[in-house]
Structure 1
Amino acid sequence: MTAQNSKASIIDGKAHAAKLKASIAAEAARLKAEHGLVPGLATILVGNDPASEVYVRNKNKTAESLGFKSVHHHLPADVSEAELLALVKALNADPSVHGILVQMPLPKHIREEAVLDTLDPAKDVDALTPYNAGLLLSGRAHLVSCTPMGVMMLLKETIGSIAGMEALVIGRSLLFGKPAAQLLLAANATVTMAHSRTKDLAEVCRRADILVAAIGKPEFVRGDWVKPGATVIDVGINRVDAGDGKSKLVGDVAYGEAAERAAHITPVPGGVGAMTIICLMRNTLIAAAALAGLPPLSL
């Protein structure tokens, strides 16, 4: 139960992430002991965005805690596109690096599509390259975008099979919305994608057994938009004014209101975000095993 005495049960992303982290640590130790394989993750940050710096620092810290090799490249905001692509190519060719993550967004003078087209799909642990997106669409995904995969794990642990349920994804980004819809379809849900131009969005939300909000607007989804008994997955992370010169993190869903109607709900923070980094480690481990020619891992 929440501090607001809500009816919904909280989906504890931190607890689920800790469980997955333990499995990854055990598998990483086994690969090192049996094959001398140490997964290597390389991160690239361009510029000095404070939020991105925190994200990348946490990713590197988690990798090191699992015994992975962690390499970080922090480039100035005015680095040329050619220089960034040269670094990506060098990491593609480095046998000690199994996963490469280029932190988005990039400065406007660098084309994200050029970076993704250069990145080796076998090391694309964010699963954003056209190749990996195509494999997901065809039902043959090897690496799956981290946050959508984390959401699917939370849904499986919380409500089991979602076959036949109506699922709504608000947001159609390459990073989350589109891959999330594909994963929900693969799990045999009936999927609707909504966005800023969707007509009567509130009414569309009220049909959803699973409501996934990833629109980037603080507390945009109101409580009376939630179907009673629905599962609400809040992917948003927004920093808002809390008064007295302080700020706080809120999601894309009005949590207190929605928790009065939902059966299950993810908090912000402590929900989906906790799964994202550990799913990145999962992808790095999977990529390392594949690049070493070892049998696929089941994590």
Structure 2
Amino acid sequence: MRTPPVSAYLTTLSMLAMVIVPAAFTLHTVRVSAFGGSLPANPSPYGYTVSLLLFLVPSLVILCWFLPQEHLHISRRSFMVSLSLLFPLGAALDFFFARYFFVFPNASATLGIKAPALGGGVPVEEYVFYLSGFALVLLLYVWLDEYWLAAYTVPATARERISFDRLLRFHPASLVLAVTLLAGVLIYHHLTAPGSFPGYPVVLILGALLPSSALLPAARPVINWRALSLTMFIILVTSLMWEVTLALPYGWWNFQAAAMLGVRVTAWSFLPIEEVFIWIAVSYSSVIVYEIVKRWKASGRALGHALLGARLKHL
């Protein structure tokens, strides 16, 4: 059913508001300009904590208003299964590697509550960030797929979604790309910063392209690529604004140079180049996982049968 013009107009305004309102609250936490010289001890009280509204508010608006307003019945089980798979991966990055990759110099920008992590813990906001970030990526894609760009979606009952031999299929191009990127990162880092290891870009490349190398062939026919591209754009713009204008200048977090590739964007508060690509990779991988889970659920098959096929599941 086509959305009435007035409803579409209000939806557009609401889309703007769900970004502007949390951004306004976040910017209000800043007391002193980062470009005015030396900063006082507490330039942005609870800034990191409040900034999580940039992810939480849009997620709640989509989940509690946009989707019900259009009477859209999404696969909640597919959404929850996907989120339960993706969030631990993000949390594991902090739990295992935070002491090697990140620093959190401005403790007053958080609640001061330490969450478990090897090497001394991390701000609890870090885990809320991963949970809300993955949730927003999935909800944005689902809403764009089911409503804003629904003309390009593959229906849940369509033959190309339900009919498949198996979901696990090797995609050699993804593996070749991963190997090429890893080689480039290691060679460049060895030439520019010998004696250290660029762990952060290595983890990001593996996290983005390993799922793609096993799942992309089965996900590609059912992905709404227009919805995915717009999801990437929205997430990328939000994350860049968040890090470049707030997080790095005010010390909410930063990166350990030895674990980075070594290329930074000077005009963006010396942002590591990895951060420009991380949420593109996150959006890409999240949608692949979601569409695979959705195909599995739509097929009605047992998990082993869906992933490996009738013959291979018993091996």
**Looking at CA atoms only, which structure, 1 or 2, has the larger radius of gyration?**
2
Same fold (TM over 0.5): no
Task: Please state which band the TM-score falls in when normalised by the shorter chain.
Answer: under 0.3
Q: Whose helix fraction is larger, Structure 1's or Structure 2's?
A: 2
- TM-score relative to the length of structure 2: 0.26
Q: Whose strand fraction is larger, Structure 1's or Structure 2's?
A: 1
